[in-house]
């Protein structure tokens, strides 16, 4: 069974000191590097939040405060601080993440009108990123998933992976949650298990 490692959004803005820093984010980088060193993956894929500066998920572009919600194209949208803007330092991958074995990069969140948590598609399920096509082209059947953040981009990437027919495993030690609400990370784990994701570690 061919397998791939999917590394979700290990970017400066989600790491320590970033615009949308995930608590404990930097702790996952050595774990992810060790996975790449100690395992043989047929493909290693990075996903990258890659927002235009006028993205509608940013509170600043809606006259709203961070933490409020609006309806965006028919679905609820949490209002985030400006983050991972195309071409900025915040959108770059963290310097400590070893990218020597990376075979593919998928950029998401490029459509100003629709947010995209999942590495597979936008939140409205209108547009695919090409990740599924890439994996199927390379006959990948098993996905191991790590990265940031567990209760948003990692969760939806895992669920879409299951729905796309992959055997899907989340490395618990390779992810951290935003926890906008204290139980978000815990609830995300329950959601993923219920959908068929295997949680390792």
153 is catalytic: yes
Q: Give me the catalytic one of 108, 122, 132, 160.
A: 108
Q: Quick one: which of 182, 183, 47 has its CA closest to 117?
A: 47
Q: Do the Cβ atoms of 124 and 57 come closer than 8 Å? A: no
Half-sphere exposure of 35 (CA within 13 A, CB side): 28
Instruction: For residue 29, report the phi and psi dihedrals to the nearest 5 degrees.
Output: -65, -50
Take residue 169 and report the two structure tokens written for it. 């495993």
Active site residue 108: yes
Tell me whether residue 9 is one of the annotated catalytic residues. yes
- The phi, psi pair for 59, rounded to 5°, reads -55, -40
131/113 Cα distance (integer angstroms): 20
Q: Which one of 15, 84, 153, 158 is the catalytic residue?
A: 153
From the candidates 9, 13, 82, 132, which is the catalytic residue?
Answer: 9
Positions marked catalytic: 9, 108, 153
């Amino acid at each position: 069974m061919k397998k791939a490692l999917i590394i979700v959004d290990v970017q400066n803005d989600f790491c320590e000191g970033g615009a949308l820093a995930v608590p404990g984010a930097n702790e996952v980088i050595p774990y992810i590097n060790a996975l790449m060193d100690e395992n043989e993956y047929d493909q290693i894929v990075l996903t990258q939040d890659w927002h235009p500066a006028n993205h509608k998920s940013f509170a600043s572009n809606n006259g709203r405060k961070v933490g409020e919600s609006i309806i965006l194209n028919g679905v609820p949208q949490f209002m985030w601080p400006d983050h991972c803007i195309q071409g900025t330092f915040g959108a770059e991958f963290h310097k400590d993440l070893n990218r020597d074995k990376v075979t593919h990069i998928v950029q998401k969140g490029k459509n100003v009108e629709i947010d995209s948590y999942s590495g597979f598609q936008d939140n409205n399920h209108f547009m695919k990123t090409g990740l599924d096509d890439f994996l199927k082209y390379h006959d990948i059947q098993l996905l191991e998933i790590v990265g940031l953040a567990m209760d948003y981009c990692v969760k939806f990437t895992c669920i879409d992976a299951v729905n796309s027919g992959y055997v899907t495993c989340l490395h618990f030690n390779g992810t951290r949650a935003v926890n906008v609400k204290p139980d978000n990370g815990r609830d995300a784990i329950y959601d993923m298990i219920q959908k068929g994701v295997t949680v390792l570690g």
